[in-house]
Amino acid sequence: VDSVGIYRQLSIASAKLLPAQQQGVVHHGIDVADISSPWTVKEFVDYARQKIDEIQQRNKLPILVGGSGLYLKAILYDYEFEKESEAAEGMWDIYTNAQLHALLMEVDPKQAAIIHPNNRKRVIRALTIAKQHKLTKSEMNAKQKQALRYDALIFVLDGDRKLLHERIEKRVNAMLAQGLQTEVKGASQMASWSQSSMAAIGVKEWQAYFNETATLETTIETIKTKTRQFSKRQRTWFKLQFDGIWLDFNDSEALEAAKQRIKSWIVNFQE
């Protein structure tokens, strides 16, 4: 469940598993769209639910893996997609990102705490829900949270922040060594920087570098910093949105216990 991995042109930026790394397991949701035609959350959800239905019809167990929390929640729950008119969306055009986030802080501080001020699209979505439904996005989420679409066993991996930051450092360095800069340069020639497909961390930061308004060193450090910040917001988001089982990724005993729980759950699933 990766909002970036769906794009054929962003393999390094999304750290996709190579075919050899997939160990013979069929992976869905990879390389299914072009960056010039960005998918909406609804398009991703429609695709994912179709694949889930197909897998279950074969009496197999679908496994959803990934950190795109909004996409994951929208798949698992009876998520209501807002039918916002262009006029409704346009009413926010006069506001800067900072002003929009300040408005959201007033009407829905919980959502404001987990949505980055520069994520204009999500801020506007939360404000629009408050205006149209007279409910905060948090209240709407709580309402929808009760309607779980599937019988799901949810695990959330977490760990020591220092270790997590070390992993982020290594991951970004590996992506750079694999050719991230060249990949993003090619992608920028196929899609506009304003498109949502080019807004991912590890992608959008290169715009300033290619425009010669930032150095390579600054660009790399910005990617690492924003990835660390995103991991913090991601942790907060999952704590608020999912009643999952939290596991320390560095605790072998906890991971082994999780394996046994999964095995028991699969037995019940197959009965």
Q: Are 110 and 240 in contact (CB under 8 A)?
A: yes
Tokens of 10: 């962003």
* pLDDT digit string, tens, across residues 113-131: 888 888 888 888 888 877 7
Domain residue ranges of the chain, discontinuous segments joined by + = 80-147
| Model confidence band, residue 201 (pLDDT cutoffs 50, 70, 90) | very high
Interhelix angle 161-178/216-241, rounded to 10 degrees, is: 130
Calpha distance 13→4 (Å, rounded): 8
Alpha helix segments (H runs only) across the chain: 41-57, 69-76, 86-90, 97-107, 109-114, 120-133, 137-145, 161-178, 180-188, 206-210, 216-241, 252-270
Write down the pLDDT at residue 85.
46
Report the CATH architecture of 80-147.
Orthogonal Bundle (1.10)
Q: Are 32 and 6 in contact (CB under 8 A)?
A: yes
3 — phi, psi (to 5°)? -70, -10
Shortest CA distance to 157 belongs to which of 218, 248, 68? Answer: 248
3-state class (DSSP) for residue 229: helix
Q: Are 171 and 13 in contact (CB under 8 A)?
A: no
* pLDDT digit string, tens, across residues 157-199: 999 999 999 999 999 999 999 999 999 999 999 999 989 899 9
Q: Which of the given ranges, 51-65, 74-88, 102-116, has the highest pLDDT on average?
A: 51-65
Write down the pLDDT at residue 68.
85
Is the predicted pLDDT of residue 207 greater than 90, yes or no? yes
Write down the pLDDT at residue 40.
87
Distances (CA, A) of 241 to 70, 72, 157, 228, 251: 9, 10, 15, 20, 24
Radius of gyration of the chain (CA): 20
